[in-house]
Copies of this chain bind each other. A is one copy, B any other.
């Protein structure tokens, strides 16, 4: 059994953040498929009791323990392995700041928009319009930042980039025009070009969804 086991599924960008870290760092790991769509597995009392009280994916198993929350797992992996880690106290602050912002503003609105439009197939609603407006505001902040910096902390990728990269490679339509954010799009291409990069649908089990 690999030292790291990741409960995940192909459509979860939050799981992809962790899977991509392990993959790019060359750390052996093993996926444990979570059948989110079939049975709402992560929302059952049994799952909450045995795996994650917050009812969420990803869950990382390591050293006989289970870890949840992608941003906390990324921080742990960076500390344990040194890969994609901040180098000093200032960088640790910046990393935490962007991890929090990603969870609050960047990943969250965009991921929920993609879930509703691309997976739940709600069609355009006042809620998708609301989420898209919030996502656009976050995209604009990111675009301005990447106009001045190749990666979140400057010249090299860190866990803050991996966190922001969670949902940016999924193909589903979101009604957001990436061409309107050229610096953000260029950052996405820099992530895609990292040695060892693999698309979430190839890195984690469960794609394609059954018809």
Q: Which residues of A contact B (CB under 8 A)?
A: 53-55, 67-72, 75-76, 93, 96-97, 99-101, 103-105, 108, 125-127, 130, 137, 141, 144-145
Contact = CB atoms under 8 A, between A and B. Distances in A.
Q: Is the interface of A mostly helix, strand, loop or mixed?
A: helix
A69 B97 contact: yes
Contacts of A141: 53-55
Contacts of A70: 100
Contact of A100 (B53, B97, B99, B144): B99
When A and B form their complex, which 5 residue pairs have the shortest distance between CB atoms, in order from nearest? A126-B126, A103-B104, A69-B97, A72-B97, A71-B100
Chain B CB within 10 A, most for which of A68, A69, A125, A144:
A69
A19 to B, nearest CB: 18
Nearest to A105: B54
A191 to B, nearest CB: 21
Contact of A53 (B93, B99, B145): B145
5 contacts: A53-B141, A53-B145, A55-B141, A68-B97, A70-B100
Contacts of A108: 104, 108
A67 B54 contact: no
Given A54-B141, A76-B93, A108-B108, 7 more contacts: A54-B101, A54-B105, A67-B93, A71-B96, A96-B96, A103-B104, A127-B127
Contact of A126 (B53, B55, B127, B144): B127
A103 B53 CA distance: 17
Contacts of A76: 93
